[in-house]
Structure 1
Amino acid sequence: MDTRVDEVLKNLRRNNMAGYVVANRKELVELIGELIPKGTTVGCGDSVTLEQTGVFDFLRNEDYVFYDKHKPGLTSAEKREIYLNNFSADTFITGSNAVTADGKIFNIDGNGSRVAPMLYGPKQVIVVVGTNKMVENVEQAVERTRQIAAPLDAKRLMKETPCTKLERCIDCNHKQRICNDFVLITGQFIADRIKVIVVNETLGY
């Protein structure tokens, strides 16, 4: 696994993105505290990985202006305002569906609120993934996301799409379909704007 992680990090750097590896959740939170200056604005994407690792709680309890989309009771209008604020955030932090061996980041999104700030806006984007998100190539990234991550995420979001019952994607046209935006990031103009942290654990889905 160490060799595989080294290859991913090397190729991320080749694609003008930074790569880090940490052993566990404690090291992850410590690194995030080093990468995000206190007092700055932080936006986030929906992420089981960040929930599992305590990153959201860390951001809520430290000296950050955190655009917290997970506050209970938010209206649709309030959520939209947070989504728009993410574009001007100093840091946007999120998980990812897959990272390829040649240093590319792949995600499928429902309404684009997660992938859009990854592409443009925030000065810094931090992507946190477990080793289970590493795949050989883009084809495997798409397959993994559609057949593993998307059905589980649709179930978590209490959608009524076929995948929640079949536990696999059939490329449906359901009105609640969450597989709408397929985004592959292959590199960056600004060096190290995107920083990928690989945690040596199985995280998210």
Structure 2
Amino acid sequence: MNERIERVIAALRKNNMQGIYVPCINDITKTVENLIFDGAVITAGGSVSLKESGVWDLINKENYNFLDRNREGITADEKQEVFRRVIGSDFYFCSTNALTENGELLNVDGFANRIAAIAFGPKKVIMVVGANKIVKDINEAFLRVKKIAAPKNCVRLGIESPCAKLGHCVALEKSDNPDFTDGCGFERRICANYLISGRQQVKDRITVIICGEDMGY
């Protein structure tokens, strides 16, 4: 573990969040298995990191009660019901858009279903985070969203937003350091709702698994 990740884990601990380091992507599922239990009600946000790490396949196993919002044949009404049931789940899995050296998490959503779950509801939140998502501070975190996370996720989701076409937020066309919520007026804009998680009231409700390798956007 390098010094930067050590600092991040210490900062997470100071903020009442648990930080766990794993050196390789292949080590993540074993770590997750030790955090959850058979029969657990599990929910998850859409995440490239969960799929790249094998966690998505793990929580789909029969010994867990995974409420899969993306299961084949799911209707729009059924998907909304999954979103509503997230609040009572045992575990919620996701990644984060950025993790600061001060132990802060920045997450930006379109519909806010992910940031709602991070803030309140599920008994435990487990985040799977690649080393590429670590930034110096909140300012860098917002720039990371505008330069990397939002454009790449729009491309992944087939959303023809201005940032998907430019490769970065339109706000960066006007300023190198735009206001946090500056951006386009696109109808399907995915950066509509913002959550910064700092020191938590409920100790260790949020666990951040930090991988020494890069994952996700």
Partner of 1:142: 142
Match of 2:60, SS state, is: helix
Unpaired stretches in structure 2, ≥5 consecutive residues? 171-182
- Structure 1 residue 64 displacement after superposition: 0.6
One-letter code aligned to 1:180: A
Structure-to-structure mapping, 1:27-38, within 5 angstroms? 27-38=27-38
- Structure 1 residue 73 displacement after superposition: 2.6
Measure the CA separation in 1 of the matches of 2:75 and 2:161. 24
Structure-to-structure mapping, 1:103-142, within 5 angstroms? 103-142=103-142
RMSD over equivalenced CA pairs, Å: 1.0
- Say which of 189, 199, 203 aligns to 1:187: 199
Please tell me whether residue 174 in structure 1 is matched to residue 186 in structure 2: yes
Match of 1:82, SS state, is: helix
- Structure 1 residue 118 displacement after superposition: 0.5
One-letter code aligned to 2:98: A
- Structure 1 residue 23 displacement after superposition: 1.3
Partner of 2:211: 199
Match of 1:192, SS state, is: coil
Measure the CA separation in 2 of the matches of 1:147 and 1:82. 31
One-letter code aligned to 2:164: T
Partner of 2:175: none
Structure 1: 4+ residue segments shifted above 2 A: none
Partner of 1:64: 64
Identity score, percent: 38
Give the total of aligned pairs.
205
Measure the CA separation in 1 of the matches of 2:19 and 2:116. 21
Match of 1:102, SS state, is: coil
Measure the CA separation in 2 of the matches of 1:136 and 1:33. 30
TM-score normalised to structure 1 length: 0.97
Partner of 1:13: 13
Unpaired stretches in structure 1, ≥5 consecutive residues? none
Higher mean C-alpha displacement, 158-167 vs 9-18? 158-167
Match of 1:77, SS state, is: helix
One-letter code aligned to 1:73: G
One-letter code aligned to 2:188: Q
Partner of 1:164: 164
Measure the CA separation in 1 of the matches of 2:3 and 2:155. 34
Higher mean C-alpha displacement, 171-180 vs 55-64? 55-64
| Residues 153-200 of structure 1: per-residue CA shift (max 9 Å, x gap) | 011111121111111111101101101011100021111000000011
| Residues 113-150 of structure 1: per-residue CA shift (max 9 Å, x gap) | 11101100111000110000000000000000111110
Match of 1:114, SS state, is: helix
One-letter code aligned to 2:58: F
- Structure 1 residue 55 displacement after superposition: 0.7
| Residues 26-72 of structure 1: per-residue CA shift (max 9 Å, x gap) | 32101100101111101101100001111111111241100111212
